[in-house]
């Protein structure tokens, strides 16, 4: 991950980001999309993505971003379908987690299961049965899982994730979008590990003010 951060940021160096310091094409990319009605930050990720794992489990960037957001700003994490053979099941499972409010309980074991599948080159993993067991081990009843995984509400949340990824034309993860108008550009952030993390948080905060 350290090599990944250095590679991402090697083209540019900036000090800790302030609102007035933002430069389009450097710390962020402006999108030809409609602005969100309410302030929001969306992270697109995949449980199969090793960089997403590092962002979440090692560097805690989503957590740091979320904790730094102004009151009233929504933070959403959407799973994508374009990585891994079981991505659609994982996107639906994440929709169920959102519906039940158990994201923080199932996130780590889902990451571990998917990362293990990547290391073992197991295209069938994690299976829906394995995902079901992860939910049960995390405190969700079998009835809740079985009754919810294909429910109308969960299907709606599944479609919401897929449609959002299509709307922003997401092709790589992790990827952060602010107010539906701006994409954080990691290549324009500090090349040091601590600086990169801080710049990421400060860039998101600054973009919310634009």
**CATH number of the domain enclosing 54:** 3.40.30.10
Look at residue 122 and tell me if it is in a domain: yes
| pLDDT of the residue at 60 | 97
7 pLDDT exceeds 70? no
User: How far, in Å, CA of 154 to CA of 70, rounded?
Assistant: 28
User: How far, in Å, CA of 210 to CA of 197, rounded?
Assistant: 21
Average of pLDDT values for 3-27? 57
Of 180, 142, 176, 161, nearest to 31 by C-alpha is 180
For the CA atoms of the chain, what is the radius of gyration? 17
Average of pLDDT values for 54-65? 97
The answer to whether 182 and 34 have CB atoms below 8 angstroms apart is: no
78 vs 2: which has the higher pLDDT: 78
Look at residue 21 and tell me if it is in a domain: no
Q: Mean of the per-residue pLDDT values for the chain?
A: 92
Look at residue 11 and tell me if it is in a domain: no
Average of pLDDT values for 180-196? 95
Average of pLDDT values for 202-207? 96
Return the structure tokens found at 8. 């991402």
User: How far, in Å, CA of 39 to CA of 72, rounded?
Assistant: 7
Percentage of the chain exceeding pLDDT 90: 89
Look at residue 198 and tell me if it is in a domain: yes
114 pLDDT exceeds 90? yes
| pLDDT of the residue at 57 | 96
11 pLDDT exceeds 60? no
1 vs 130: which has the higher pLDDT: 130
pLDDT band at 3 (very low <50, low <70, confident <90, very high): low
pLDDT band at 129 (very low <50, low <70, confident <90, very high): very high
Number of folded domains that form the chain: 1
What domain range includes position 50?
Answer: 37-209
Return the structure tokens found at 175. 């990827």
- Indicate whether this model's pTM tops 0.85: yes
Look at residue 162 and tell me if it is in a domain: yes
Look at residue 79 and tell me if it is in a domain: yes
pLDDT band at 21 (very low <50, low <70, confident <90, very high): confident
Average of pLDDT values for 107-123? 97
| pLDDT of the residue at 16 | 43
Look at residue 7 and tell me if it is in a domain: no
The answer to whether 166 and 133 have CB atoms below 8 angstroms apart is: no
Distances (CA, A) of 147 to 50, 100, 143, 152, 199: 31, 12, 6, 10, 42
pLDDT band at 5 (very low <50, low <70, confident <90, very high): low
Look at residue 12 and tell me if it is in a domain: no
Coil, strand or helix at 51? helix
């Amino acid at each position: 991950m350290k090599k990944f951060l250095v590679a991402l940021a090697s083209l540019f160096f900036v000090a800790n980001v302030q609102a007035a310091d933002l430069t389009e094409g450097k710390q962020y990319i402006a999108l030809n999309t409609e602005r969100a009605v309410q302030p929001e930050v969306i992270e697109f990720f995949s449980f199969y993505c090793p960089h997403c794992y590092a962002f979440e489990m090692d560097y805690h960037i989503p957590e740091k971003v979320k904790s730094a957001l102004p009151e009233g700003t929504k933070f959403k994490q959407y799973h994508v379908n374009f990585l891994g053979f079981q991505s659609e099941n994982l996107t639906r499972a994440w929709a169920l987690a959102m519906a039940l409010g158990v994201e923080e309980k199932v996130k780590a074991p889902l990451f571990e299961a998917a990362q293990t599948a990547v290391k073992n080159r197991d295209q069938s993993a994690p299976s829906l049965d394995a995902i079901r067991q992860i939910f049960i081990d995390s405190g969700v009843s079998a009835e809740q899982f079985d009754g919810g995984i294909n429910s109308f509400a969960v299907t709606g949340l599944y479609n919401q994730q897929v449609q959002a990824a299509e709307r922003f034309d997401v092709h790589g993860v992790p990827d952060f979008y602010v107010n539906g108008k701006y994409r954080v550009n990691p290549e324009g952030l500090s090349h040091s590990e601590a600086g990169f993390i801080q710049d990421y948080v400060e860039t998101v905060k600054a973009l919310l003010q634009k």
